[in-house]
Amino acid sequence: MNLTILFGNVTHEPLLKYLTINDKSVAVCNFSIATHRHFKKANGEKQKETTFIDCEAWDSGAETISKYVSKGDKFLVRGSLKNDSWERPDGQKVTKTKLRVEDFELPSRPRLTETTPINDTSDVTDIPDTPAESKDGDDIPF
C-alpha cells in the first residue's frame, strides 16, 4: 500500500502549468509542504525536525489548489509517493521523491466581515481549527 497523509505549511506559491497530453490540455500544479515532527532526545531536550515534501496535483484538483492555496497556508494532503527519475546533461542520474496528490482539504479562511474585501470565496468552506463536538456537547473520542 502506498498511502501518505501530510499536514503542514505550503512553502511557496503553487505553480500551475498546462501540459498537452494526447492533444488534450491537462493542468498540473506543483508546490511544497513543510511538515514538522516534535520529539524528545534521550536527555529530555525537546527537538523539532522539519521535512520538506514536493507535491504535484493534476486536473481540476491542480486548478483548485492554485486558486485557493497560498504560501504559508496550513494544508492537508493525501496521496501516494512516486519517484521521478531523469538524467542530467553531464550523464548523472537523478531521482526525486514527491507526493502525487489524490485528495486534500482547503485551508481555513478568515470569516468575511463588512470591512473585509470580498473575493471569489463563494465555494470555499471554512475548516474549523478545533475538533467538532457532538450534538450533546461531548467531545469526539479521538
Query: How many other C-beta atoms lie within 10 A of the C-beta of residue 131?
Result: 8
| Lowest-pLDDT choice from 30-39, 70-79, 109-118 | 109-118
Q: Domain boundaries in the chain? A: 4-105
Topology adopted by domain 4-105: OB fold (Dihydrolipoamide Acetyltransferase, E2P) (2.40.50)
pLDDT at 13 > cutoff 50: yes
pLDDT at 92 > cutoff 70: yes
Phi, psi of 61, rounded to the nearest 5 degrees: -60, -40
What is the rounded average pLDDT of the residues 122-128? 45
pLDDT at 137 > cutoff 70: no
Q: How far apart are the first and last CA of the chain?
A: 24
Average pLDDT, rounded, for the chain:
82
How far apart CA 11 and CA 114 sit, in angstroms, is 31
Nearest Cα to Cα of residue 33 among 99, 113, 94: 99
Given phi > 0 = left and psi -120 to 50 = alpha, else beta, which region is 137? left
Q: What is the pLDDT of residues 17-59, one digit of tens each?
A: 999 989 999 999 999 999 999 999 999 999 999 999 999 999 9
Whole-number pLDDT of residue 132:
43
